[in-house]
Amino acid sequence: MKKFYIITNRAKDPELTVRTSIVQYLEANGATCAVRRSEEPVDERHRNTNPAEIPEGTDCIIVLGGDGTLMRAADDVQGLNIPLLGINLGTLGYLAEIDRSSIFPALDCLLQDKYKIEHRMMLHGTVYSEEKVIRGGIALNDIVISSAGAPHVMAIYNYVNGKYLNYYRGDGVIVSTPTGSTGYSLSAGGPLISPDSELFLITPLAAHTLNTRSIILPADSEITVRIGAGRDDTVEHAMAYFDGDTRAPMHTGDRVVIKRSENDTLIVRIHDDSFLGTLRRKMNEV
């Protein structure tokens, strides 16, 4: 790799000292490195990165921040087929595997083409009110449907490929990718899944029943989550969250239809850890 672009979370690198050191190192070793020129959102669709600024022929996008920054970058650059390397400047990171102490050895691996690229499936969700599209978006980790405002018990109806699956009352539901199984779904009691798998994971949020568990479905499934009526048949107010960032309001009768995205996220891997090795290492950091 010889041509790089850097996306920086200014909250994690406020003085841009990490970004500057990376640019200087790469250029000193014969590479070119462009950076995002403005921190202002481009539009509602691209709030964190302007894909038009990314030079043609870029080999790798280096993302400085953490897992959240990397997920937002994956959304912004979807379809460009440029691999992302996450450098973790925060605390716990599963996607951003490189920490501050291993930045320059990792850059050496990129310059010497000593890496591998993993394909991570993403979700595409479309929120409907009757037949009107309210919002669409993608997610690398998950799409979460929960109450708008203060958490409270909701009525949730789930369908797979147009057929009724189940109903429960709870705080909401998480539909995640294998990558997202180490995120919110894990906190809600969902299983851990190897990120190279291709499947959907449905995990209820605090369901008020004893027989509701996570459900694993094939990646070619179409999942529909419909919002039921509120207490005493009032209008329920809910929200669909795409990777915890993009959101769309929902009400009683609205639904979100979730499929596999046409695009995968390409993740650069430097370490040759297995999923279990990475998991063991990250769990020991907590």
Which residues are the active-site residues?
67
Tell me how far apart the alpha carbons of residues 39 and 141 are, in angstroms, rounded to a whole number: 24
Residue 185 — φ and ψ, nearest 5°?
-60, -40
Can you list the positions of beta strands (E) in the chain?
3-8, 32-35, 60-65, 84-88, 116-120, 123-129, 132-139, 142-147, 154-160, 163-170, 172-176, 199-205, 215-218, 223-227, 237-242, 246-251, 255-260, 265-269
**Do residues 249 and 134 make contact, with C-beta atoms less than 8 angstroms apart?**
yes
**Do residues 150 and 41 make contact, with C-beta atoms less than 8 angstroms apart?**
no
**Do residues 154 and 238 make contact, with C-beta atoms less than 8 angstroms apart?**
yes
User: Which long-range contacts does 33-42 make (Cβ < 8 Å, 24+ apart)?
Assistant: 33/3, 33/4, 33/5, 33/6, 34/4, 34/5, 34/6, 34/58, 35/5, 35/6, 35/8, 36/5, 36/6, 36/7, 36/8, 39/10
Tell me how far apart the alpha carbons of residues 252 and 240 are, in angstroms, rounded to a whole number: 13
Closest CA to 183 of 225, 270, 245: 245
Sign of the CA dihedral running 225, 226, 228, 234: positive
